[in-house]
Amino acid sequence: REPLIEACAGLLDENDPETAIRKEAEEELGYRLKDIERLFASFMSPGSVTERLWFFTARYSPADRISDGGGAPEEGEDIEVLEIPLDEALAAIADGRIVDAKTIILIQHLKLNPIAP
């Protein structure tokens, strides 16, 4: 079974979406994010489920790294942090390596709305 390539994400539990993504970024990626931009919130399949996803982007640098990431072992997470250039991510969508809907949406958003250096 191939590993699933997906953007950092998690359940809200008792948190608001921004608090939740900050927590997940620290646990899964090992980065403490500063300025987070909320993009939009959407229903992935409103005809069959009520789950709503909030999408964010954030700038980060090596100075923001606080750990190796990898997820919370007590939650059964075993995550390999993967950073790839945008063009490679787009190619991975095209060739079927990236199949996660939220990840595809974020990659395509980034292609359409590049973040200035």
Residue whose token pair is 């990236």 = 98
CA quadruple 41, 46, 50, 51: dihedral, nearest 10: -40
* Domain 17-84: assigned CATH number: 3.90.79.10
Quote the pLDDT of residue 39.
96
Per the document, the length of the chain is 117
What pLDDT score does 50 carry?
85
**Residues sharing a CB contact under 8 Å with residue 64, sequence separation 6 or more, in sequence order:** 31, 32, 33, 34
Q: What is the pLDDT of residue 74?
A: 85
Tell me what the pLDDT averaged over the chain comes to. Answer: 93
> Mind listing the pLDDT tens digit for each residue in 14-23?
999 999 999 9
Beta carbons of 67 and 79 less than 8 angstroms apart: no
Q: Which long-range contacts (CB under 8 A, 24 or more apart) does 13-16 make?
A: none
* Amino acid type, 14: E
Domain boundaries, the chain: 17-84
pLDDT one-digit tens code per residue, 40-73 = 999 988 888 888 999 999 999 999 999 999 998 8
- The pTM assigned to this predicted structure is 0.90
